[in-house]
Amino acid sequence: MTKINADKIFPENKISIEEIKSGIEKALALSEKLGASDAEIVFSIGESTSIQFKKDIIETAKQSTSAGYGVRAVVNGAVGFAGTNLMSDLENTLRTAVASAKVMEADPLFKNFPEKAVYKEVGGLFDDKIVDMSLDECIECATDMISGVKSIENMIPTSGGFSRSVSYFMIMNTDGLSAQRKGTAVSGFTDVTTASGEVSTAYDYNVSRKKDVDFTVIGKNAADLAKKSLKGISCGAEKMPVIFHPFSFADILENTLVPSVDADNIQKERSGLVGRLGDEIAHSDLSIIDNGTLEGGISSGAFDDEGTPTQKTTVIGNGILKSYLYDSYTAGKDNVKSTGNGYRYSYSSAPGVDFSNFIIDFPQSDVIAETKKGIYVNTVIGAHTANEISGDFSIEGRNAFLIENGEISKPIKSVMISGNIFEMLKNIDGAGKDVRSVGGIITPSIRISEMSVIGE
Amino acid sequence: MDQIQYYDANQIEGRSMTIILDNGKLETISKNSSKGAGIRALCCGSWGYTSIDGETDLETGIKNASELAASMNKNTPKERVILGDVPKRKVGSMPAIKINPEDISIEEKVELLREIEKYAKEESIKSTRVSYSESILMTRFMNSEGEEREYKTIKSGFSVSAVAAEGNNYQAGRESRFNIAGYEIFEKNDPYQLAKDAAETAKLLLKAKTPKGGALPVILDPELAGVFTHEAVGHASEADLVLQNDSVLSGKLGKQIASPKITVIDDPTLHEYGYYPFDAEGVPSEKTVLIKDGVLNSYMHSRETAGVFEGVSGNARAQGYSMPVVRMSNTYIDKGDATFEEMLEDIKDGIYLIGSRGGQVNTGEGVFQFNAEKGYLIQKGEITDLVRDVSLSGQTLDILNQIKMVGKDVKLHAGHCGKSGQTVPVTDGAPHISISKATVGGA
């Protein structure tokens, strides 16, 4: 792996990575004297610039830096965690983590932190052009979104923003692991509404690790969708085919299937998929792969937040449940290898199981054209209210449309969709050619043969 | 450089701890300490904002924020922002803390959590989780108008959840209590009873049916009615959303928007989880009547939106040292005069929805969706079968007008509210309310 010159990435912050590294080494050496069998320290620093607009006015420029340490210390298998953002406080933080671990009961199921490994570099995660972006360039991206919205008649943004970020992450542990990685990202988001007359709203966004996003398109797409959603009709209560746009399908998956394949939930029996490995749980043409090595992937990296090399994990292969997702602790408990899915919200939280890039694969076709009657749902509200164990949900479809004779026809004002994710997986019978990455879930539009739909 | 007409800074220093006991195992003891500052500067119509983790040099921060604001103003000049005046108010009293949680040893806390968990471990309960958290936060505010204020808050809270299972049927129950309070939170709330309640809910839901959906008369319990108040009414009353055409209550000040039985209040001075003595712009907090007898009375304001509407500020809040945003505090429907029995008698056939699993709102179109934890069918004025996986959806203004009866039993529930990527502590509440017709989703 190439050596990262973090001093150069963050010139403003006067942080010397060599000094940070030697500080961490010193602390790790101290951990044994304090009574810890194992210790792990991560350091991360991130810098971001964001531009926010309200209506069509650029209002705020934000510049933020966040940096800190997260420490895990192990005593008799029990893991204590402590975090700080005071650079001078690393040793104290380590002492706190050790003291907490000493209070906890011994845990024979703890094996060890990930060992030193050879990493394969993942491409497309860092773009110097993002590092070098000037404030004026950032403002221009936001302006582009606004003009995209306004290119559609009678449409105006409600709010939105552009953001660029540069991050650096370092992890070292007492098993000799020492790794570092860096990343960049740009993102744009906008909510739109009608400038006058009947109210109709929509949103769109995009994220990329490279400076390759067309921000005008984000604004234009959102405005176009809001415009098409005007003059919605009511639909009755019936069962019919539903096609979910990548936005809505990803939203449902993230709140139902994703927690169900988390090994931690499996081990605690808080998942509808306990003991189902090897069972056919989905349509035989459906495969779902978690791929932390995806080039340019939003959640990609050579290693996860514990230092385990990332990999491709087949979660569902041709309809069969093949694997759960593991971090190092849950893997040790099941005597398997970590799938490289140990992630943290930030340096100040201990890692837990999470997906990386979740790729939904189903044979693609002109799925709308092949649908005689049904509804198309762009976004949903309330997906997080799903029962993540049973997989049951009842959500409100937004920017929904009737499909008649293979074409999107009239917009639907309001529609409630009820279902169960595990039944849905079996009833998938089509996918579009419109693959999108939605917060790490990469999916085409997906058709479900029959769902319960209630209009207003 | 163009002139900077205003700047302010929030410096925060805090410590927090979380303990999680999962299925009898002490899974997490996590401690965090942090320090940082968020600094804003206003140049004509442009805001510049910087935030820094760790030790901060205020002078450099103000300089950086000012430069950002000035270059923004140069690049995209716009109309000058006139900040509303700071209302002349006294800073109210702080909630009294009886037992500083940091004076209690971790061992004692863990012992208590173990004890609580036992009460949730009933037959057919597959798994349990008890968590505890505490935080101590110092907030220091200063601005270019010479204002300087500071306060310290101590927060404590706990939650218990239980999952019951029978074959492939899994159901969960959860109870939580959070407040600006010390360790006495365990005296003011009976954690053992709450653990039993969580287990009882999970077990009951195993036997519950899924109702047929449709448009029905509905009674909401105080918790779910509180979620409706917060999500559908409260957010739409935030002046920043109103200004950006993102509120169904835009242009409705002084108009009848709800049943005359409805009065909605936001009150940050209440000694509840959403309490603050002054907001993130240094403005002493005060109660705001949002809806009075069905008439939209006021929005909630920051100094910027107060300047536009000639309103009164005091609702600008920030998570840590993030940029201040117009937010709610303790928001509730005020008490009415109906009893629960009268509501049942009046509704005859419908559904009684209890508790909340969360919800979501489109404030611009005024459309919402909430999931109840559970519900009971109402048949011939009597409560009958238990139902689960029920959701409520509809148009905010429709529901506000269809409210038929308002109970006397206001209850507040503490939770966390997310907006603009920031989370702040709030409470929301209401008495029981009945609605003549709403869309209920089921299987």
pLDDT tens per residue across span A274-284: 999 999 999 99
B386 CA: distance to closest CA in chain A (Å): 17
- Chain B contact probe: residue of A20, A63, A143, A146 with most B CBs at under 10 A: A63
Q: Which residues pair with A396 in a beta bridge?
A: A381, A416
Is A390 within 8 Å of B369 when comparing Cβ atoms? no
- Banded pLDDT at A2 (limits 50, 70, 90): very low
- Banded pLDDT at A78 (limits 50, 70, 90): very high
pLDDT at A1 over 50: no
Nearest to B28 among A105, A350, A418 (CB): A350
Task: Quick: pLDDT tens for B122-164.
Answer: 888 999 999 999 999 999 999 999 999 999 999 999 999 999 9
Q: What is the pLDDT of residue B213?
A: 79
Nearest to B34 among A84, A136, A237 (CB): A84
Domain ranges of chain B: 6-207, 214-441
Q: What is the mean pLDDT of residues A106-125?
A: 94
pLDDT at B73 over 50: yes
Percent of chain A with pLDDT over 90: 87
Q: What is the mean pLDDT of residues A246-263?
A: 97
Task: Quick: pLDDT tens for B87-116.
Answer: 988 888 899 999 999 999 999 999 999 999
Task: Quick: pLDDT tens for B17-53.
Answer: 999 999 999 999 999 999 999 999 999 999 999 998 8
Q: What is the pLDDT of residue B370?
A: 87
Taking only Cα atoms into account, the Rg of chain B, rounded to an integer number of angstroms, comes to 23
- Chain B contact probe: residue of A268, A330, A345 with most B CBs at under 10 A: A268
Nearest to B33 among A86, A135, A136 (CB): A86
Pick the CATH number of B6-207 from 3.40.50.300, 3.30.565.10, 2.60.40.10, 3.30.2290.10: 3.30.2290.10
pLDDT at B56 over 90: no
Nearest to A60 among B47, B75, B442 (CB): B47
A215 CA: distance to closest CA in chain B (Å): 18
Is B391 within 8 Å of A385 when comparing Cβ atoms? yes
CA nearest A82 in B: which residue? B31
Q: What is the mean pLDDT of residues A404-422?
A: 93
Percent of chain B with pLDDT over 70: 99
Q: What is the pLDDT of residue B167?
A: 82
- What are the structural domains, with CATH classification, of chain A? 6-222 (3.30.2290.10), 231-456 (no CATH)
Q: What is the pLDDT of residue A7?
A: 52
CA nearest B22 in A: which residue? A268
Provide ipTM, 2 decimals: 0.89
Q: What is the pLDDT of residue A10?
A: 57
Q: Which residues pair with A451 in a beta bridge?
A: A240
Q: Give the CB-side neighbour count of residue B378, counting CA atoms within 13 A.
A: 22
Is A139 within 8 Å of B45 when comparing Cβ atoms? no
Q: Which residues pair with A170 in a beta bridge?
A: A43, A180
Are the beta carbons of B347 and B217 closer than 8 angstroms?
yes
Q: What is the pLDDT of residue A121?
A: 94
Size of interface A-B (CB pairs under 8 A): 238
- Banded pLDDT at A9 (limits 50, 70, 90): low
Q: Across all residues in chain B, what is the average pLDDT?
A: 94
A429 CA: distance to closest CA in chain B (Å): 21
Nearest to A394 among B361, B371, B395 (CB): B371
Nearest to B442 among A62, A268, A394 (CB): A394
Is A193 within 8 Å of B246 when comparing Cβ atoms? yes
Lowest model confidence (mean pLDDT) among A159-168, B162-171, B377-386: B162-171
Q: What is the mean pLDDT of residues B189-204?
A: 96
CA angle B201, B188, B25 (to 5 degrees): 55
pLDDT at A183 over 90: yes
pLDDT at A456 over 80: no
Q: Which residues on B lie below 8 Å from A68 (Cβ)?
A: 34, 53-54
Q: What is the pLDDT of residue B54?
A: 87
Q: Is the pLDDT higher at B214 or at B409? A: B409
Task: Quick: pLDDT tens for A284-302.
Answer: 999 999 999 999 999 999 9
Q: What is the mean pLDDT of residues A369-382?
A: 94
Lowest model confidence (mean pLDDT) among A164-178, A226-240, A304-318, B239-253: A226-240
Q: What is the pLDDT of residue A3?
A: 40
pLDDT at A21 over 90: yes
Q: What is the pLDDT of residue A387?
A: 85
- Banded pLDDT at B169 (limits 50, 70, 90): confident
pLDDT winner (highest mean) among A106-115, A310-319, B357-366: A310-319
Is B31 within 8 Å of A97 when comparing Cβ atoms? yes
Q: What is the pLDDT of residue A13?
A: 57
Is B72 within 8 Å of A452 when comparing Cβ atoms? no
Using CA of residue A302, residue A307, residue A309, residue A315, what is the dihedral sign? negative
